[in-house]
Chains A and B, each alone.
Chain A
């Protein structure tokens, strides 16, 4: 059964089409990422599911029930907000128990459930503290516990890791992933970080200008982008323009090739000049120029390195050149 279904949903703010004719289908138990640059409509989509926004057109269903006219408090979904939105006047345990308090549970019962949820996010014993006494990472876990304690059928996460530093973010990515597997709740996750989307999600929808450009597994998105925008946005893939591809293959379509799949060779179909080298640890990134086209190639650490300014030939396996649709 589908957890969330969008049927040609639009949300226009005056002349601004924040979400424009989006259709999507999120399966139950799926970890679904909505990826896109800021202003691409991904957060508005999340707010449409939560009920903070109403669609100007189209239908939204949650587990089959139409919800477009239901207020947020009548939907069985919960949100982890980007700024966490913890209640500053309540301590941690009352923050987590808020939803249960509203639902009419007694103090003892809801505190026990809240303590359990805090244990789930590894914050046992923090119940008496005020949100202002916690670090960013701890606040994030409280926000997670506060949402999960209500046993939502869909959990919405709005850039939940955006405010954390790199190491904490990597740690939380793994924790979120294992939490999702453990609880079997449908997670819908909004992010502008392609690495985050690819590493955590079962499926990714790439947004641009209020529309979904491509939906697929992380492997689809990464290795088989349908249009240059996706190739460009999801990691630094090399996009070969139509004219160049026409010369190489005879087909007038843009194509993409991953930097790690480009090889420096003695002979190859494409010649380029080395414009820069940077050491990345596991690999060396080589910046290249083939006519007007800038390319990047990742060399394994044990490969021979060219010199800057040198002319090299580029080669690849036939299957690595991925043909895309013409246009944007």
Chain B
């Protein structure tokens, strides 16, 4: 006989799976409050809030955070413009090689970050482009464009083509149609794509290691910090901030599109 209730063994397995995924994250949070600064000893010998103050006063943290926010903002902006136009072109018109172009736009997200990183690094060195904030932005834009494109193209597909004709028929020129019909219909898709792109860029490590010069984004700074044992819990405090900054937009995107369309590209 089948029972409506899950068997005990399945419940235990589910609980173990969840613990396995989330316990390490809770540990990171716990170590942000430890009094021990050289090594991570469990259990923490004592609890303190002083690392929050220490972190607040570290200029390198602020510099890394500022760079990360700047890179994320610029690459999201680029992704919104390029991704939306690309989606509009692919879904609004038929031309030779349309499917190929669609595949080529999506490909960077399927490519391992290492490959993207090495490819960009060699391209920059061939073209003699010095490493700067802009090379990091270009690296991030490769996958941010995909996220925005995927969301926008899904929305365009659900938007009937005759809406644009109806708008023109009622006297609106191309610009008025863009403003009054196209934008309101794809706005949430763009918002969601933008939020995901921002979150992806903010915690990106692999591509950044290949495309950054001496500058450190926040995730890179954390990686360096773990190698040098100095005020280790500062890293944990920063980790908590990173989790919050990336989680909120993803949650927001989830709630905005719940029950509408698939949020593409969450996986990267």
Partners in one complex: yes
Would you give the shortest CB distance from B14 to chain A, in whole angstroms?
Answer: 38
Q: Determine the chain B residues whose CB is within 8 A of the CB of A250 once the complex forms.
A: none
Interface size on A, residues (CB 8 A): 25
Q: How far is the CA of A52 from the CA of B163 in the complex (A)?
A: 12
Binds A, one of B47-55, B71-79, B180-188, B232-240: B180-188
Residue among A82, A87, A99 making CB contact with B171, cutoff 8 Å: A99
Q: Determine the chain B residues whose CB is within 8 A of the CB of A85 once the complex forms.
A: 160, 162-163, 165-166
Q: Which residue of A lies closest to B181 (CB)?
A: A87
Q: Cβ of B171 and Cβ of A81 under 8 Å apart?
A: no
A83 with B172, Cβ < 8 A, contacts A72-B165, A88-B185, A89-B185 known: no
The yes or no answer to B167 lying at the interface (CB within 8 A) is yes
Residues 62-88 of A at the B interface (beta carbon under 8 Å)? 71-73, 77-79, 81-83, 85-88
Residues 226-256 of A at the B interface (beta carbon under 8 Å)? none
Interface size on B, residues (CB 8 A): 17
Q: Determine the chain B residues whose CB is within 8 A of the CB of A147 once the complex forms.
A: 169-170
The yes or no answer to A102 lying at the interface (CB within 8 A) is yes
A150 with B171, Cβ < 8 A, contacts A87-B181, A88-B185, A102-B176 known: yes
The yes or no answer to A183 lying at the interface (CB within 8 A) is no
The yes or no answer to A3 lying at the interface (CB within 8 A) is no
Q: Which residue of A lies closest to B163 (CB)?
A: A85
The yes or no answer to A280 lying at the interface (CB within 8 A) is no
Q: Which residue of A lies closest to B162 (CB)?
A: A85
Q: Determine the chain A residues whose CB is within 8 A of the CB of B162 once the complex forms.
A: 81-83, 85
Residues 121-173 of B at the A interface (beta carbon under 8 Å)? 160, 162-163, 165-173
Residue among A52, A71, A150 making CB contact with B170, cutoff 8 Å: A150
Q: Cβ of A102 and Cβ of B160 under 8 Å apart?
A: no
Q: Cβ of A102 and Cβ of B171 under 8 Å apart?
A: yes
Q: Determine the chain B residues whose CB is within 8 A of the CB of A98 once the complex forms.
A: 167, 170, 172, 180
The yes or no answer to A304 lying at the interface (CB within 8 A) is no
Q: Which residue of A lies closest to B164 (CB)?
A: A85
Would you give the shortest CB distance from B214 to chain A, in whole angstroms?
Answer: 48
The yes or no answer to A297 lying at the interface (CB within 8 A) is no
Would you give the shortest CB distance from A193 to chain B, in whole angstroms?
Answer: 21
Residue among A51, A87, A103 making CB contact with B166, cutoff 8 Å: A87
Q: Determine the chain B residues whose CB is within 8 A of the CB of A89 once the complex forms.
A: 184-185
Q: Which residue of A lies closest to B161 (CB)?
A: A85
Q: Determine the chain B residues whose CB is within 8 A of the CB of A51 once the complex forms.
A: 168-169
Q: Cβ of B180 and Cβ of A83 under 8 Å apart?
A: no
The yes or no answer to A117 lying at the interface (CB within 8 A) is no
The yes or no answer to A34 lying at the interface (CB within 8 A) is no
Would you give the shortest CB distance from A15 to chain B, in whole angstroms?
Answer: 16
Residue among B163, B169, B176, B180 making CB contact with A79, cutoff 8 Å: B169
Q: How far is the CA of A118 from the CA of B59 in the complex (A)?
A: 64
The yes or no answer to A50 lying at the interface (CB within 8 A) is yes
Q: Cβ of A71 and Cβ of B168 under 8 Å apart?
A: yes
Q: Which residue of B lies closest to A78 (CB)?
A: B169
Q: Which residue of A lies closest to B185 (CB)?
A: A89
Q: Which residue of B lies closest to A71 (CB)?
A: B168
Residues 278-307 of A at the B interface (beta carbon under 8 Å)? none
Q: Cβ of B167 and Cβ of A83 under 8 Å apart?
A: no
Q: How far is the CA of A102 from the CA of B177 in the complex (A)?
A: 9
Q: Which residue of A lies closest to B170 (CB)?
A: A99
A71 with B173, Cβ < 8 A, contacts A85-B160, A98-B180 known: yes
Q: Determine the chain B residues whose CB is within 8 A of the CB of A101 once the complex forms.
A: 180
Would you give the shortest CB distance from A197 to chain B, in whole angstroms?
Answer: 23
Q: Mark A78-114, 1 if CB is under 8 A from B, else 0.
A: 1101110111110000000011011100000000000
14 interchain pairs (CB within 8 A)?
Answer: A51-B169, A52-B168, A52-B169, A72-B165, A73-B173, A78-B170, A79-B169, A83-B162, A85-B160, A87-B166, A99-B171, A102-B170, A102-B171, A147-B169
Report, nearest first, the 10 A-B pairs whose CB atoms are least far apart.
Answer: A99-B170, A85-B166, A85-B162, A72-B168, A89-B184, A102-B171, A102-B172, A79-B169, A73-B171, A73-B168
Given A72-B168, A87-B166, A150-B170, 5 extra CB contacts under 8 A: A50-B165, A52-B169, A73-B170, A87-B167, A98-B172
